Structure 1
Amino acid sequence: MVTTAPTRLSDRLSRPSAAARGVRDTRGYRVFTAVNVLVLVLVMAVTLYPFVNILAQSFSSEGFITAGQVNLVPRGFNVETYQTVMADRMFWRNYQNTLVYTVVATAIAMVLTTTFAYAISKRHLRGRSLFIGIAVFTMFFNGGLIPNYVLINTLGFKNTIWAIVLPNAISVFNLLVMKAFFENLPAELEEAAAIDGLDTYRTLLRIVLPLSKAVIATMILFYAVSFWNSWFPAFLYMDRAELYPVTVYLRNLIAGATTATSVGGGGADAMTQVAANIQSVTMVLTVLPIVCLYPFIQKYFVSGVMLGAVKG
């Protein structure tokens, strides 16, 4: 009996409890699971349908697109428009501009947001409530379109990268999420760092930031997607086409400011094909880098936002 008792106890501990088995096996739980899966599948289908449809149109022939026969599968497979758009030097110039604007703007935004959030997360900071109030105030009120344009023009930022990078360098929502995250970090870590002789800046760089990888990766994703998709600041503050980001290039195509003939090509048939799906092709080429980047950062997304939003 002495030798078999531990075995029997381990067997009982390894088996799930009757209550747990009952919860999984109840009819209500099975119905809830089925409904939950069905709803999620429907949401996924509704979300993916526009992207799949655009992708299908980008590889379809003009006749099928005009007849409205392209749904989820390409009809009359055709890559002529891809070849024509990729041969356009202005498209690649604007694409390069978008890459530069996004990288520089995200880097500046992360530095400013991180340092600002870390400062206002300290309850002993004098004027902390005032700084938080000023930040929150800007979420609801701004100077307006004309004053902003006059300000950018007066500062000499027009037709420069700074007109896109600086006005939206800090997102108040991202700032508040990072502030909440820093407030939840154990104070004992910074106290130990202070005892070891680290000042505020070295504590931030050596202690706080290495523990904040999840929220930092999430904020990088937020800022990068925002700057990549932004088109209105460039449309407002840029006068030269060679300075446009690719989103303005796309906007001009959609609005009809740029016609199919502006991207070259030979023959009426080629121009008809280009005009039919040039918008879909440009959308696919524009969104591709973000789609490729997202899987590498997605694992930090939920944990980063939750850690910054839930009070410990």
Structure 2
Amino acid sequence: MKSGPAAKSFSLFDAVIYFALALILLMVLLPCLYVLLSSFSTKSEMLSRGFYLIPRDWTLNSYGYLFNNHNFTASYWNAIKITLGGTAISISVTTLMAYGLSRTWLRGRKAFNVMVLFTLLFSGGIIPTYLLTSQLGLLNTYWALFLNNAILPFNLIVMRSFFQNTPKELEEAARIDGCGEWTLFFRVILPLSLASVTTFIMFYASFYWNSYFQAILFISDSQKQPLQVFLRQIVLESGNSLESVSNGYEYGPPVQMAVVVMASIPMLIMYPFFQKYFDKGMLVGSVKG
């Protein structure tokens, strides 16, 4: 055993910290495990047993019901289209505007920054936004979601701060080599900003995937509504108001759990690939405001 100042002793304080972390971990994992494992239960078991984690009879009935339900598959595909299209538009517009606002040579830069900050604190309101979207003819189109959320002010401010921290020497060297503003942005600034851009790709993707309120506000066509709207319908409505049997698969509480699981899978798959950029992208972008 090592002794002296370099040796780390296990104290009562450490034990309390580990116990608290284990308790928090259990509180986070328990609902997730309950939802996941309950989705493999039968309807009768879930209605009769109450709370449990390990099902007695394992079945894929819930997932069979979902994949044989046209509304589920359509809403899932709609959510994928909204997420991919919205993220591509938002990250493109946000990076371009953040880069412009980070340049000291831009005329009116301070006024634009004040307007961005104003929209962060105050919004136009639901009714004016709906009326404007309606007058533009965007209702029941995905453009209503894309254009109303093209730039989220918080993301823009943090990304602008990141661009302000890029080395000025690299910009000067690129300009001496004859780079124009577009070449400088795409070949010098953007590669250096990979961590920040990747972080906000994850933010925007999560935002669009979980879009619910604006979807029911702007999209009334059930064939265009995303997964979160279907998720609300199937979780909150009673089984009597839904199709009880679909191609031999019975509807019940396990189906509700299965919808939650299916809605969580894309984000759970995406996060590990983006996690290594997350801390760096947020910390570097928040150093200078």
TM-score in terms of structure 1 length: 0.85
Matched, 1:239 2:216: no
Matched, 1:43 2:20: no
2:120 partner amino acid: M
- 1:261 is matched with 243
Q: C-alpha distance in 1, partners of 2:177/2:39?
A: 60
Matched, 1:92 2:73: yes
1:149 partner amino acid: Y
Q: 1:192 to 1:89 in 2, by over 3 A?
A: same
- 1:52 is matched with 33
Q: Report the structure number with the largest CA radius of gyration.
A: 1
1:125 to 102, 106, 111: 106
Q: C-alpha distance in 2, partners of 1:263/1:172?
A: 46
How much does 1:129 deviate?
A: 1.5
1:78 partner amino acid: T
How much does 1:132 deviate?
A: 1.0
Q: 1:108 to 1:287 in 2, by over 3 A?
A: same
Q: C-alpha distance in 2, partners of 1:79/1:296?
A: 29
Matched, 1:22 2:17: no
Q: C-alpha distance in 1, partners of 2:238/2:41?
A: 24
Matched, 1:297 2:253: no
Q: C-alpha distance in 1, partners of 2:93/2:150?
A: 7
Q: 1:77 to 1:262 in 2, by over 3 A?
A: closer
Q: C-alpha distance in 1, partners of 2:115/2:209?
A: 27
| Contact residue 260 and residue 278 of structure 1 kept, 8 A | no
- For residues 1-312 of structure 1, what are the structure 2 equivalents within 5 Å? 22-26=5-9, 30-256=11-237, 259-261=241-243, 264-266=246-248, 271=250, 274-311=251-288
Consecutive aligned runs of 4 or more in structure 1 exceeding 6 Å deviation? none
How much does 1:23 deviate?
A: 4.6
How much does 1:181 deviate?
A: 0.9
SS at match of 2:139: coil
Q: C-alpha distance in 2, partners of 1:80/1:93?
A: 19
How much does 1:237 deviate?
A: 1.2
Unaligned 5+ segments in structure 1 are 1-15
How much does 1:73 deviate?
A: 2.5
Q: 1:54 to 1:131 in 2, by over 3 A?
A: same
55-64 or 191-200, which moves further after superposition?
Answer: 55-64
CA RMSD of aligned residues (A): 2.2
Calculate percent identity across the aligned residue pairs: 38
How much does 1:33 deviate?
A: 4.1
| Contact residue 46 and residue 253 of structure 2 kept, 8 A | yes
Q: C-alpha distance in 2, partners of 1:177/1:208?
A: 15
Q: 1:311 to 1:148 in 2, by over 3 A?
A: closer
Question: Aligned residue pairs: how many?
Answer: 287
Q: C-alpha distance in 2, partners of 1:202/1:74?
A: 59
How much does 1:25 deviate?
A: 2.5
Q: 1:302 to 1:236 in 2, by over 3 A?
A: same
| Contact residue 75 and residue 226 of structure 2 kept, 8 A | yes
Q: 1:166 to 1:71 in 2, by over 3 A?
A: farther
1:153 partner amino acid: S
2:283 partner amino acid: M
Question: Structure 1, residues 91-148: CA drift from partner, whole Å, max 9, x if none?
Answer: 1111111111100100010011101111111233222221111111111212211111
- Which of the pair is proportionally richer in helix? 1
TM-score in terms of structure 2 length: 0.92
Question: Structure 1, residues 237-280: CA drift from partner, whole Å, max 9, x if none?
Answer: 112111011111111112318833176244xxx54xx2222211
Determine which structure has greater relative contact order: mean sequence separation of CA pairs < 8 Å that are 6+ residues apart, divided by chain length. Answer: 2
How much does 1:46 deviate?
A: 1.8
Unaligned 5+ segments in structure 2 are none
| Contact residue 250 and residue 282 of structure 1 kept, 8 A | yes
1:103 partner amino acid: L
Q: 1:187 to 1:257 in 2, by over 3 A?
A: farther
| Contact residue 57 and residue 70 of structure 1 kept, 8 A | no
How much does 1:31 deviate?
A: 4.4
Q: C-alpha distance in 2, partners of 1:183/1:198?
A: 19
